[in-house]
Amino acid sequence: MLFLVFYHLIGFSLEVQVHQSPSDLITEAGVDVRMSCGHGQSDHRVMLWYRRLKSHTALTLLGYGYAEFNNNSVEAAFRKHFQLAGDLTNVRPSGSLTIRDPKPLEHTATYFCAARDRCANYEAYFGQGTKLTVLEPNRTAIPPTVRVLKPSPNEGGQTRTLVCVATDFYPDHVSVSWTVNGNKRLSGVATDAAATRLDDFYRITSRLTVYVKEWQNRGKDFACVVDFFNGTETVNRIDSIRGVKGRLLFERKYLRIAQNAKLAYCAFIVKSCVYGAFVVFLLWKLQKSRKTEK
C-alpha cells in the first residue's frame, strides 16, 4: 500500500529523539548507499522510511517494520531498489535503508526515518533526514564561488542590506551563514529556502540586514560563509566586505570643524571690537591732550 504523509508532520520530540545519519550523501550512479536510524524508546518499535523528491512537498512511504524487518517490509513499488534491515526488538531500536543501483533522476531525494508505537493513531517522530544526490553522468562535485555585494546606494531608512551570492556549484549540498568580526550573526539573516538550478549548476542567495550605524563603521568585517559537502567532506567558501566610512561620521566631523571655526570667528570679532575701542580711546586721549596744551 502506498500513501502520503504531509511534510508538516516532521518534527522533533522531547520524548523520542530519532537519530538519523548521515545528513548528506553523494554517490555515483549504480553505487549502493546506506543510511542508518535509531532511538532510545523501546516501546516505539515501528520504524518507517519515507522519501521526499525535490519536486514534492509530501512524503512517500517506502516501507516499515514492526519488531523485525522482512521481505515484505518494503512497499511493492520500491522493492527493486530499496532494502530495509535492523533490530527493532532491542532496548534501543535501530534500522537501516539501503538503496541498490541508484539512479540520478529516480533516487536523488531526501529520506526520512520515523518511529512510533504500534498503534496506528500514535504520533510518529522523525529524524532530521538524509539528503542524497546521485551524480549525473560524467559529473563531479564542484564548490561554489561566493561574493558579497554592498548595499544599494538607493536604500533608505535606518538599515542597510548586504547580499551574498553563491554560484556555479554542483550538487546543491550547501548551507549559508554570516559572521560579523568573526562572530556568527543570526538576526537579520534571510536565506533562500533552497538553491536554484540554472543550466548545469546551482545558485543560492542570502541577505544580512544591519543598522546604518553598524555598516558605516570601518572596523566591522561582514563575512558570508558557504559550507559545501563534496561527497567526502564539508568545505567552506568565504567572502567578506568591510564597513564604509559613514556619512554621519563625516557630518559630525564637519559640524565640529564648523563650530570651532564659528567660535574662532566670534573670538576674532570680540578682539577686533576691543582693539577698535582701545584705538578710539587713544585718539580721544590724544585729542584731549592737544587741547590742554593750547
Query: Does residue 194 carry a pLDDT above 50?
Result: yes
Query: What pLDDT, on a 0 to 100 scale, did the predictor assign at position 251?
Result: 44
The cell for 187 is 538576526
Query: What pLDDT, on a 0 to 100 scale, did the predictor assign at position 1?
Result: 40
Query: Does residue 182 carry a pLDDT above 60?
Result: yes
Query: Does residue 83 carry a pLDDT above 90?
Result: yes
**Residues pairing with 59 in the sheet:** 5
> CA 91: distance to chain centroid?
37
State how far the Cα of 226 lies from the Cα of 22, in Å rounded to an integer. 19
Query: What pLDDT, on a 0 to 100 scale, did the predictor assign at position 120?
Result: 64
Higher-confidence residue of 252 and 25: namely 25
Percent of the chain with pLDDT over 90: 69
Query: What pLDDT, on a 0 to 100 scale, did the predictor assign at position 67?
Result: 82
Query: What pLDDT, on a 0 to 100 scale, did the predictor assign at position 288?
Result: 59
Task: Spell 21-39 as b/e; 16+ CB within 10 A means b.
Answer: eeebbbbebeeebebbbbb
State how far the Cα of 72 lies from the Cα of 83, in Å rounded to an integer. 10
State how far the Cα of 138 lies from the Cα of 163, in Å rounded to an integer. 33
